[in-house]
Chains A and B, each alone.
Chain A
Amino acid sequence: MAVAEMLIPNEAPAPVPPRRRQLLFASGFAAAGWAMFLVTLLGAYLVARSGDRAVWLLENKIPLTQPNVQLGTLILSSITVQWAVYSIARDDRGHTYLALAITTLFGVAFINQTWFLYTQVGLKMAQREGRFFYALTGGHLAMVGCATIFLVLMLVRSLGGSFSSRYPEGLSAVAVFWHVTVAMYAAIWLVVYIMK
């Protein structure tokens, strides 16, 4: 008997397609890579600050209001993105759309708040602190920007009916990436804004 016939008998039933999670795993890898990128910048920030502790941020004041509001915004967005995952798992499309739209709004609001914070802080790139501050917060801002674009794409696909309780991967993927984004901001908030 030929090898091919032994491997696939003609009467074999069609297999059930396995549930693929390509986007979920890819998002996990992307989030891990980006987290390493930010953790390194965070480490560089700490090393630089410990070296220049006496003069660090003497000329500039970082207000606490915006960072606190930003953290609150992102924590709320973490809840809303999980709400989207919860809703799609129950085929509740209305709530899924609403949750994704609110999360996107939170993402845009965070970007706006960061931009406003930059104008308040007034750090120059020529200052030693400026280089590390903008690299770290800018790196995270870029991550939030990418996550927001990812959210919009998943929202559009949701509106097109791509996701359901049987195939929720896109929303799970964006949720994973979003949660890592929020966790990274929590670390930045603690190190840069609280432990000044």
Chain B
Amino acid sequence: MALTEAPTGSDLLSPGDEVGTQRQVAAPVVQGVLGGAEHVTTGRMFVGLALGFGALDLIISALVNFDRAAFDSATGEGFFGTELAQRVAQNQTIGFVLCCALPLMLGLAIIIVPKQIGSPALSFPRAAALSLWTWLLSSVIFVVVVAADGSYGGSNEKLARVGNVITGALIVALCIGVVCVAVTVLTLRPSGMGLADVPFFSFSMVVAASAWVLTLPVVLSHVVLVHIITPGPGDLQAAFDENISWMFSQPALYIVLIPILGLAVDVAATAAGSRQRARGAVLFAIGFAGALTFGAWAQTDASRATMIWVLMSASFAIPIIAVLGAVGETLQSGRPKLISPLAFVMVAMLLGLVGSMVGLLEAIDSTGKGRLIGFGNAALDTGLFYLVIGAAITAGVGGCFYWARQSFGDSLPESAGRLLAPAALVGVSLWGLPHLVLGIVQANDEGIDPRVFTAISGAGALLMSLVLLVTIAAGVQVRSEVRRGDVLVADPWGGAGTLEWADAESVPTTVESPYPLLDAKGDD
């Protein structure tokens, strides 16, 4: 077996083992943490750290919004000062996407995808570990650099360049990680399980990987292009505005939503204890959503003033509605239990839908020559960004609650989940909707005072950061209890049908159904 390969069950067998035996070997702690021998450890670190960076980002976002609320027209600035406010505001977008939303989903996928498809390991586990450590180091440097007057918008020349390089490093790290996940789904499935038979979350990660790999290198090329001229702060600011900021707007921003679609369907099937019908249609909807997120071509204002952009912006709501319909049908056909992960993913889907509707508004506004209605585009963009990122973070927290047994070793408190899901709904709504309303109102009154709106938005960001901090605390608590040796519950939801809920010993070698555990139980 080469260094680049992942061990399979048969690779791990001993001479005396019976036919059909599969075994997982526990790696030493250092090897598991540093070398990626345990994909769960790698994924858990991704998830925990992404939640931490997310909480930090949200607190910063709250401060940015409060700064705008405290804007003094006499001095022309809030408590931050103009330069600091601008630097923090534009770097928080990089932080939310590259340090929180994408790695959160990537971490969950690294933990869950191998288990969902019945594989004992992740493809290229060392590459996944390389991805984790590169991402972690880059994220820490990014935070330090932004704090020390660097990165985009910073005035310290050397640190501004470091911020640019670190953005590239974050992109490379995430691409490496997501390729490991996609290759796992594409190559390590058991016999009989076709690509159309894999659980929806795994399928959505293949689609997401394709979208990420086709989108993020485009940003990387601009990072390289500006870096080779030894840029000054002004060059970097111009590069961000002209060549990088498109990544944080629609349709490219929607890449963070793709895994949510798969997660929602899997959670709904578990909550209902029944199979998802019309699999082909749902898979098509997820693939369609992936195709619509390709936004690298829409980098300039001229490219956004085209019918293709209008159609793509207006269409993203379609796959979300389709998946919501499929989820509703599944819940109706089974005996749904109101479990906290279901609440989280439904909140995330609704927020994603509202976000895509903002895209629809922008599309309508940009049809024809000039502006049709004249919405406040900056406010609409901010609202869309907050809603979409909020949806991704909410779904990620839902994934942590749903797969807590696989991620942390045991279930997170269900009572906490039932409290946090509505809190996330309120938090993200307060965070994003005021900007959305502001953008719409500005169509009639451009001079409207935004301070009340931004103050509400800041409060929403604080509430959402609290949700993340409570989730992290619950995860740490559960990990410490698991280390003390408490008994695990195999399937805390009582209706899970996909393979991640099977014990390692009962993972079948031949799988011909996306719901082998439901088959084994004889459920329809």
Where the two chains meet, the residues of B that have a C-beta atom closer than 8 Å to any C-beta of A are 2, 4-6, 8, 10, 18-20, 123-124, 175, 179-180, 182-183, 186-191, 209-210, 213-218, 220-222, 224-225, 228-229, 296, 502-503, 505-510, 516-517, 520-521
**Contacts A36-B218, A41-B225, A138-B228 given; 19 further ones with Cβ under 8 A?**
A3-B502, A8-B506, A10-B18, A13-B19, A13-B20, A15-B510, A17-B10, A18-B190, A18-B191, A20-B187, A21-B186, A22-B183, A29-B213, A30-B179, A32-B210, A33-B213, A135-B228, A139-B221, A157-B2
A40 touches B217 (CB 8 A): yes
Q: Mark A46-72, 1 if CB is under 8 A from B, else 0.
A: 000000000000000000000000000
B520 touches A3 (CB 8 A): yes
A22 touches B228 (CB 8 A): no
Within 8 A of B (CB), among A124-176: 125, 131-132, 134-135, 138-139, 157, 162, 170
Chain A interface main SS type: helix
Chain B residues near A131 (CB-CB < 8 A): 225, 228-229
A135 vs B188: C-alpha distance when bound (angstroms): 37
Task: Say yes or no for A195: interface residue by CB 8 A criterion.
Answer: no
Chain B residues near A34 (CB-CB < 8 A): 217
Chain A residues near B4 (CB-CB < 8 A): 22-23
Chain A residues near B225 (CB-CB < 8 A): 41, 44, 131-132, 135
**Nearest neighbor of A128 in chain B, beta-carbon distance:** B229
Chain B residues near A16 (CB-CB < 8 A): 191
Task: Give, as a whole number of angstroms, the nearest-CB distance from A15 to chain B.
Answer: 4
B213 touches A21 (CB 8 A): no
A21 vs B2: C-alpha distance when bound (angstroms): 13
Chain A residues near B507 (CB-CB < 8 A): 7
**Contacting A12 at CB < 8 Å: which of B20, B175, B190?**
B20
**Nearest neighbor of B507 in chain A, beta-carbon distance:** A7
Task: Say yes or no for A121: interface residue by CB 8 A criterion.
Answer: no
A4 vs B510: C-alpha distance when bound (angstroms): 13
| A36-B187 CB under 8 A given contacts A8-B508, A29-B209 | no
A15 touches B123 (CB 8 A): no
Task: Give, as a whole number of angstroms, the nearest-CB distance from A180 to chain B.
Answer: 13
Task: Say yes or no for A115: interface residue by CB 8 A criterion.
Answer: no
Chain A residues near B187 (CB-CB < 8 A): 20-22, 25
B5 touches A22 (CB 8 A): yes
| A26-B123 CB under 8 A given contacts A8-B508, A33-B175 | yes
Chain A residues near B189 (CB-CB < 8 A): 18
Chain A residues near B188 (CB-CB < 8 A): 20, 22
Chain B residues near A21 (CB-CB < 8 A): 186-187
Please give the number of chain A residues whose Cβ is less than 8 angstroms from any Cβ of chain B in the complex.
Answer: 40
Chain A residues near B296 (CB-CB < 8 A): 36, 40
Chain A residues near B217 (CB-CB < 8 A): 33-34, 36-37, 40
Task: Give, as a whole number of angstroms, the nearest-CB distance from B265 to chain A.
Answer: 23
Q: List the 3 closest pairs (A to B, CB-CB), nearest first.
A: A4-B506, A40-B221, A37-B217
**Nearest neighbor of A41 in chain B, beta-carbon distance:** B221
Chain B residues near A10 (CB-CB < 8 A): 18, 20
Chain B residues near A132 (CB-CB < 8 A): 225
B123 touches A22 (CB 8 A): yes
**Nearest neighbor of A30 in chain B, beta-carbon distance:** B179
A40 touches B20 (CB 8 A): no
B2 touches A37 (CB 8 A): no
**Nearest neighbor of B185 in chain A, beta-carbon distance:** A25
A192 vs B216: C-alpha distance when bound (angstroms): 24
**Nearest neighbor of B511 in chain A, beta-carbon distance:** A7
A189 vs B499: C-alpha distance when bound (angstroms): 50
Task: Give, as a whole number of angstroms, the nearest-CB distance from A149 to chain B.
Answer: 13
Chain A residues near B521 (CB-CB < 8 A): 3
| A125-B506 CB under 8 A given contacts A7-B520, A33-B214, A41-B221 | no
A17 vs B510: C-alpha distance when bound (angstroms): 11
| A26-B221 CB under 8 A given contacts A14-B20, A125-B229, A131-B229 | no
B516 touches A7 (CB 8 A): yes
A40 vs B188: C-alpha distance when bound (angstroms): 32
A44 vs B510: C-alpha distance when bound (angstroms): 49
Task: Give, as a whole number of angstroms, the nearest-CB distance from B8 to chain A.
Answer: 7
Task: Give, as a whole number of angstroms, the nearest-CB distance from B39 to chain A.
Answer: 14
B520 touches A14 (CB 8 A): no
- 16 residue pairs from A and B, CB less than 8 Å apart: A7-B506, A7-B508, A8-B506, A14-B19, A17-B8, A18-B190, A26-B124, A26-B180, A32-B210, A33-B179, A36-B218, A36-B296, A38-B221, A41-B224, A134-B228, A135-B228
Chain A residues near B124 (CB-CB < 8 A): 22, 26
Chain B residues near A22 (CB-CB < 8 A): 4-6, 123-124, 183, 187-188
A15 touches B509 (CB 8 A): yes
A17 vs B213: C-alpha distance when bound (angstroms): 29
A34 vs B209: C-alpha distance when bound (angstroms): 14
Chain B residues near A41 (CB-CB < 8 A): 221, 224-225
